[in-house]
Structure 1
Amino acid sequence: MRKAIFVTTGLVLLSFILSIYFYPQVPEQMATHWNSQGEVNGYMSKLWGLFFIPLLITGLVIMFLVLPRIDPRKENIVKFRKYYDWFIVILVLFMIAVHLQVLLWNTGIRISPNAVLPLGIGLLFYYMGILTENAERNWFIGIRTPWTLSSERVWKGTNRLGGKLFRIAGITAALGTLFPEFAIYFIFVPIISVAGFTVVYSYFEYQKELKENEREQISE
């Protein structure tokens, strides 16, 4: 845990250092948003363009560090805390990669976001799969539906399956780098499909468990 927090703190500082380093090199109006074709369609002032992502990273890190402390089932998070802490590291790395792409673009080094985002999001999804597979029942992390939160068996079954599907979604998202014009579909179609499927799956698994419990009560 300490190692992951140390690395995360260093990465947060790095995001601000990058902004300070590039400050003299970027224009007063910075390109900060691109459409699905990789064309610029949004701008920010220099100050916001440089420091929005570092501030966002800082806020997210604080939030992710607070969540395990306020979860009513915090003792369960302790059981998979190492996976959770390294997820924070990977998330911050991804956001720094996005930040660096923005900074480089505005200095004339035109790296398309369609080359950065699919790989980064793919890695993020893949590790989310690992985290999900190892998550114990809690209120903030993993596949949380009314049915997974109501049953330990449904939680484990849904999150184990969902973890595998998230990893597949991650690999699929990363392949979007090879097809930049369709990258958005490689990213969103798999993840929406996985999210929808796991919700439905958890419902039917819960109903199956209820029926099994009813049979056991009748047999007694």
Structure 2
Amino acid sequence: MNDIINSPMFGILLSIICFEVGLYVYRKTKIPLFNPLLICITLIVIILLSCNISLDSFNKGGKLISFFLGPATVVLAVPLYHKLETIKEYAVPIFLGVTVGSITAIFSIFYISKLFGLTSELTLSLIPKSITTPIGIEVSKTIGGIPAITVAAIIITGIMGAVISPIVCKTFKITDEIAIGISIGTSSHVIGTTKAIEMGETEGAMSGLAIGIAGLITSFLAPILIKLL
């Protein structure tokens, strides 16, 4: 039994099974709060704790999944190709929107952390919360954060974005497809983009575009703004 648990296949299979369970629950209920990734994480935590399985054993397979996060993100370029003319037409508003959103994310985290008296190390770990995981980890390392905390913050931010974004759009009557996509991608990266894709092809394409731009802008501006702040 120990050989199975300590095998990389254990972490991979457990992740796939738990995610499929989460996907099934979400498809049956259609409740935004029952996000497949949130259910997956909850089930994995429960199984690891109840069976007394160490995180290191699970991570032997989990690290392999993390390795493919970068290449998987590249797949989001496919819908972008179909919306190339739209991107060209609205290039300036898109770039400005993502830039303002990225800067706002950095400033908001800094001042909220200051308000609640968080340590500088924890604050730096939370600053890359709105960008995709592979880039967020590197930004966290560069500015002196703790990558593990950054990953947790990124996941929570993405799930919250996927859950809240449709409610926000409906409440404030936001109907522009480009604006919806750009705002979701900038604030809640890949996980939010899965919801944007459900909302429409244009929303999904714009959200995928925002992920890349927000990642680049944050990785460039975060070290500069932190020194200024």
TM-score by length of 1: 0.28
TM-score by length of 2: 0.27
Judging by fraction of residues, say which structure has more strand.
Answer: 1
Bigger radius of gyration, 1 or 2?
1
Judging by fraction of residues, say which structure has more helix.
Answer: 2
